[in-house]
Structure 1
């Protein structure tokens, strides 16, 4: 049960920029880690809502943050699918989450103010002490 709550926290904070914009149909895809019918789009909406509140994102930052979150969610979802196919365990899932979270910091740094970034960095260090940021 603890690992499920940790995963839900991960879902609320993931984001990472990749080179290509995903297809809008991807948002309707089932999220591989949850069995409750949640879609990638539902996860994206909840992450945007949480990040907007936590970081006090401005109207100009929200579209860029949405793209970062979309890319990260897709990357995480694809990673979970690959892990399920090759034998998923908590350690492998944690490595994937740390990779996505570290990418989030790098992607978000370009759009956040120093104060917003410090909030994000502090939370990242608290949740992922093994990360090399």
Structure 2
């Protein structure tokens, strides 16, 4: 399992509880994303890991506002990692969570986020780095 997959699996497992809601819709598109950013840094300020059923990627950006990554590492998603993520996702838990916890990126302390997208529904939770 590469860094991007491990990073996202660990991040999501910390936030989500075991439950699956896609047993009736196994072919629906689903994306997991996790990232870190530091608003006052000089370079290499933002990292985003994205996992879909087919691919996992890790992108690094020079600044928070950069749209083009300075590096990208992409590999196929291992089916067992994907199954673990889907099995542990529970939208009802995500819906009860606030969009922001603490003071993310205050005094350049950094921010982290977890974002889950499916069928146009997006849930993003942002919290203090660390």
* Higher relative helix content: 1
* Higher relative strand content: 2
Q: TM-score, normalization: structure 2?
A: 0.31
Q: TM-score, normalization: structure 1?
A: 0.30
* Bigger radius of gyration: 2
